[in-house]
Every structure is written in structure tokens, then in C-alpha cells.
Amino acid sequence: MFCYQCQETFKNEGCQISGVCGKKPTTASLQDLLIYIDKGVANYSQALRQAKSPLIDNTVNKYLINSLFITITNANFDDQEIFHEIQRGLQLRESLKAECERLGLHTKFENHNLAKWYFTNERDVLNFSKTVGVLRTANEDIRSLRELLTYGLKGMAAYTEHAFNLGKTDDSLFAFIEKALLATEDDSLGVNELIPLVLECGQFGVSAMALLDNANTSAFGNPEITKVNIGVGTRPGILISGHDLNDIKQLLEQSKDAGVDIYTHSEMLPAHYYPELKKYPHLFGNYGNAWWKQKEEFETFNGPIVFTTNCIVPPKKGASYEGKVFTTNAAGFPDWKKIPVREDGTKDFSEVIEMAKTCQAPKEIEHGEIIGGFAHNQVFALANKVVEAVKSGAIKKFVVMGGCDGRHKERDYYGDFAQALPKDTVILTAGCAKYRYNKMNLGDIGGIPRVLDAGQCNDSYSLAVIALKLKEVFDLDDINKLPIIYNIAWYEQKAVIVLLALLYLGVKNIHLGPTLPAFLSPNVAKVLVENFGIAGIGTVEDDMKKFFEM
């Protein structure tokens, strides 16, 4: 195996023996093969999409994005499920190919292996899967750009899938995914052709996040300022993690009279901010912290746990919650149960709910509350107050600290950085990075909390909308003239699409940490540094001096 797609990759070089995330070599190879099969599907679905064939339907679109989502860090560790998806993809490819042939449509890759490869036995699958991964590309700059593009697509696919689950789709996103997937196998494309594609990926990343924002807010209303309980109640609980709001909505509805409470974990915390979700009194609170603390926190939760997406941490042998974890969508883990999907596409949470009733209430690990819900609409409602505070000098700077949390010690930097910030700064955040400072009580500035949480990582879109609004209010010609510092933490591929989206929107001088991606070759990193001012982080002390000229 060779995988370097996330921030925790071994020695910031690459996982080769086994994944730091727990991914085994066979799983890694099967995931590489799944992406390859997706390219075979894309080769034919692209031609048929352009020909406006009725064969391009939700099944094809969902396959294109879900197969990418499965390969996101920490999403799916289940070889059987991945192999099943490979088989489904091969069937789909063949049926689309037959239709192309019937219509006399030619495709660019029809003589390429991705249009033809098939297997006769398990050994074929394993042998071939080892040849289609990251190292298939010899030139390190081309490899770097192909992978950067692939990771951007993975993130985009995840957001597109959540929107899809709420009935919102955009054909141009699928068309771009097809084009970009095929570009990563196209030997005629060099550095000069791949760089614009990477930037175009950022453009479609903005579209995907806007689509999801629209899907979430039209289904559940606009996020509003909300205090979220971090303690526990006396009834048994169900803990739900991940990003899919359509899933938590269904769980809330199905469990409302069951005598159990629903708790969010990690990235599901922002569910509390939406009117159509917070209206359920049994949406009790948020239990625990960011994804990487789950091995300890699930032990004390006592009730069943549902993963609607990544990030899964493989449990220790003999973990008390073994047998109590369920997955849905692209998430999967060997022997964990999948939430059944009914014929009409809705989910059946009855087994989870029945299991919860037999469990003890969660054990309290924290007490108090946290505040959030500062997505674009809510911030616009406070706009006068915010603008006044900037004009009066009460707020000197905004610091975008969105992104991800992770388990490495070096991430203590972000908590220390938040604490060391001057008191006239406001942190804008989204994603699970916030768990490093959202319980610190950093105070407020004239009633405006110093940590404004917009929501999930995809709600970084909200932060961009807020920045564009401030640019307009202050009548500036460049988003980079705003008093905003970007100090973003990244972990997996959704953070990659967020970064590419910010670059597309013209944001410069983003600090990215705790380390720069291992998949950026020195030359590709140089392009990002020279054109966008991307930089890493230093010590809290040095960075304070750098940002605030103290």
C-alpha cells in the first residue's frame, strides 16, 4: 500500500505498511481499485451525459460520488463492502458501455484498461489493485497534482452526496467529477494542464458547498444561535456522529416517543443549530469531543452509536461498545451493522432505538454548554453589531480557525493559539477543529462571542459568504484587504476541497497546519506558495508576532 492522503500519514511521508488510521494494506488496495473502477464508469457516463441519455440517472450519479466517499480517510474499513462496490461499478460500466456502443458513441479511454479490466478470481483483484494506486504515476509533480485533484474530488463528492440525500443535485458537479477523474489517468496532461484543473476543482467545490448549504437550510431552516448542553440526562441515549443531517432528522422523528435521548458526537454537533432539528426536545446535547477521542468517549456513553460518515477509529479489542455501532451511507466497518434502507429510500432506525431502550443512560464526562449557530444568515442578522464593533475598534481582527482536529500532540498548538489571541479578536470556525477551543470560555466582545461556530466543515462556505459580505460592507475591492487571518487545520480530503474552494474565491496567505500535505511535491508546493501565499505554522509565540506585529 501507499497512502498519503491525510495529515496523519506516517512521518508526513506516506503509510506503506499499514495506515496510521488503521487502514490495512488490502483495504487500501481495494480502495485504490474502487477509484479506478469509478473512472471506468466515468468514461462511459461522461459520453452518455453529453448525449443526454436517459441512462444517466440517480443510480449512476450516486455511484460516481459514493465510491469516492468510501475512500475518504476513516470512512470505510470493510473489505467486503468495498469489493461489493467494485463489482457494482463493473456491472454499471458494462451496461453504460453497451449503451455507448448501441448509440455509436466513442470515448477517449475505450481502449484503456479502465474501460476493459475484469477479474476471474480473487487473486486477480488483489494483484491488479496494487498497480492502480498513487505510485502508478512516476513523475512526482504529476503524481502530486493527480492526487491533489483526486482528494479535492473526494471532498466534493462527500458534500454532493449529503445534498443528494436531501434531493438536491447539480448535473455540472457530476460532469466535472467525470472529467477530473479521467484527467488523472490521461498521460497527455502535464503540469500546465493539471494546475488549472485543480483550481477548477475549487470552483466546483464552492458550488458543492453552496448546494449543500441550500439543501440543509431549505430542509431544516437557517442555523440560529443555540446553546448546546454538553452534560447528560437520565434516559438512555443514542449517539450519532458524522455529517448527514437527513439521517439525524429521520432518527429524531422515529425515536421521538421511545423514551430515549439523542446526542450528537463530533461533526454532528451543528445539528443542534437548525430549527427543524432543535425542535425535538429529545435532541438532548452533544457528548464528547472531536472524532479521535471516540475510543474513550464511546466506552462511557453506554448506548448505541450511529456513524453517518467518517471519521471512524477502529475500536480496541474487547471495547464495551462492540456490537452497538451502526453505520450508514459510505461509512462501514467489518461486523458493524448497516442501517437498513427501506424501498422508498428512507432509513429504518428501529433496531438502534430498541437497543437503546435496553441500555443505561450515558455517564457524564463534562458539564455545561457551548454556543454555536453562526452560519451566514445568523451573522448577517448581527451584521450591524459586528460592523459597529469593527469600526469602533472593539474587534481588530477575525481569525478563521476552521478545519479539522486530530490526535497528534502538535495540534495542541491550536488550543494554545486560540488562548493566546488578543482579546479584540474573534475566531470564525467550522469543522471539528473547534473542539480545541470551544469549551474555553474565551468571552465576548460587546455581546458577540469570541468564537463564532458556523457549523460543519462544509459550512466553511458560510465563512466565505461572511467574508464576501464584509468586503461589500466595507466597500473593499479585494477580499484580502479585510482584517482576517486564516489559520486552518486540516486532516482529511474534505479539508482539501475547502482549501481549494478558498483559493478559487481569491483568498490568499492561508496558513495550513499542523503540517503541509505530504502529497504536495516541492514544485507543486512552490506554485501554491508563490501564487497564493500558502504557508505553514510556527510556534504560537512566533505566529502571534507574525500576525499581530507585536
Which residues would be at the binding site for ligand SF4 (CB under 6 A)? Answer: 3-6, 8-9, 15, 19-21, 23, 73
The answer to the question of residue 434 lying near ligand FSO (CB under 6 A) is no
Q: Which of 185, 176, 204, 109 is nearest to 146 (CA)?
A: 185
Q: Pick from 491, 524, 528, 534: which binds ligand FSO (CB under 6 A)?
A: 491
Task: Report the residue number whose CB is nearest to ligand SF4.
Answer: 19
Q: How far apart are CA 27 and CA 76, in angstroms?
A: 9
Task: Return the residue matching grid coordinates 466534493.
Answer: 156
Exposed / middle / buried, residue 17 (Cβ in 10 Å: 0-12, 13-18, 19+) = exposed
Closest contact distance (angstroms) between CB of 517 and ligand SF4 is 10
494 contact, one of ligand SF4, ligand FSO, none, CB 5-8 Å limit per kind: ligand FSO
CB atoms within 10 A of CB 334: 12
153 contact, one of ligand SF4, ligand FSO, none, CB 5-8 Å limit per kind: none
What is the sign, positive or negative, of the torsion defined by CA atoms of 361, 362, 364, 368?
Answer: negative
Task: Answer yes or no: is 201 a known binding residue.
Answer: no
The answer to the question of residue 25 lying near ligand FSO (CB under 6 A) is no
Give the C-alpha distances (Å, rounded to integers) separating 95 from 40, 55, 91, 450.
11, 9, 6, 55
The answer to the question of residue 457 lying near ligand FSO (CB under 6 A) is yes
Task: Answer yes or no: is 100 a known binding residue.
Answer: no
φ, ψ of residue 415 in degrees (nearest 5): -65, -45
Q: Which residues, other chains included, contact 321 with Cβ-Cβ below 8 Å and sequence gap of 6+?
A: 298, 299, 301, 305, 315
The answer to the question of residue 456 lying near ligand FSO (CB under 6 A) is yes
Q: Which residues, other chains included, contact 272 with Cβ-Cβ below 8 Å and sequence gap of 6+?
A: 226, 228, 264, 278, 283, 285, 286, 372, 373
DSSP 47-73: HHHHTT-TT-SHHHHHHHHHHHHHTST
H/E stretch holding 530 reads helix 522-532
Give the C-alpha distances (Å, rounded to integers) separating 14 from 5, 9, 26, 430.
8, 5, 16, 27
Cβ 342 vs Cβ 328: under 8 Å: no
Q: Pick from 237, 270, 431, 517: which binds ligand FSO (CB under 6 A)?
A: 431
The answer to the question of residue 311 lying near ligand FSO (CB under 6 A) is yes
Task: Answer yes or no: is 106 a known binding residue.
Answer: no
Q: Pick from 32, 178, 213, 492: which binds ligand FSO (CB under 6 A)?
A: 492
Shorter beta-carbon distance to ligand FSO: residue 30 or 432 = 432
Exposed / middle / buried, residue 468 (Cβ in 10 Å: 0-12, 13-18, 19+) = middle
The answer to the question of residue 248 lying near ligand FSO (CB under 6 A) is no
495 contact, one of ligand FSO, ligand SF4, none, CB 5-8 Å limit per kind: ligand FSO
9 contact, one of ligand SF4, ligand FSO, none, CB 5-8 Å limit per kind: ligand SF4
Shorter beta-carbon distance to ligand FSO: residue 15 or 290 = 290
Give the C-alpha distances (Å, rounded to integers) separating 521 from 72, 184, 223, 504, 525.
21, 16, 39, 20, 6
Q: Pick from 432, 485, 512, 535: which binds ligand FSO (CB under 6 A)?
A: 432
Task: Report the residue number whose CB is nearest to ligand FSO.
Answer: 404
Q: Which three cell numbers stand for residue 187?
A: 498521460
Closest contact distance (angstroms) between CB of 244 and ligand FSO is 11
Task: Answer yes or no: is 3 a known binding residue.
Answer: yes
Shorter beta-carbon distance to ligand FSO: residue 211 or 258 = 211
Task: Answer yes or no: is 508 a known binding residue.
Answer: no
291 contact, one of ligand FSO, ligand SF4, none, CB 5-8 Å limit per kind: ligand FSO
Closest contact distance (angstroms) between CB of 463 and ligand FSO is 13
Shorter beta-carbon distance to ligand FSO: residue 243 or 282 = 243
Task: Answer yes or no: is 359 a known binding residue.
Answer: no
In three-state secondary structure terms, 3 is: strand
The answer to the question of residue 21 lying near ligand FSO (CB under 6 A) is no
Q: How far apart are CA 132 and CA 115, in angstroms?
A: 14
| Window 380-409: contact mask with ligand FSO (x via CB under 6 A) | -----------------------xx-----
**Please, what is the angle between helix 58-70 and helix 140-165, to 10°?**
120
Closest contact distance (angstroms) between CB of 73 and ligand FSO is 8
Residues 345 to 384 in contact with ligand FSO, rule: CB under 6 A: none
491 contact, one of ligand SF4, ligand FSO, none, CB 5-8 Å limit per kind: ligand FSO
Shorter beta-carbon distance to ligand FSO: residue 206 or 432 = 432
Alpha-carbon Rg for the chain in angstroms = 23
φ, ψ of residue 311 in degrees (nearest 5): -115, 120
Cβ 377 vs Cβ 222: under 8 Å: yes
Q: Pick from 109, 204, 274, 291: which binds ligand FSO (CB under 6 A)?
A: 291
Closest contact distance (angstroms) between CB of 324 and ligand FSO is 20
Shorter beta-carbon distance to ligand SF4: residue 22 or 221 = 22
Binding residues: 3, 6, 15, 21, 243, 267, 311, 404, 432, 457, 492, 494
Binding residues for [4Fe-4S] cluster: 3, 6, 15, 21
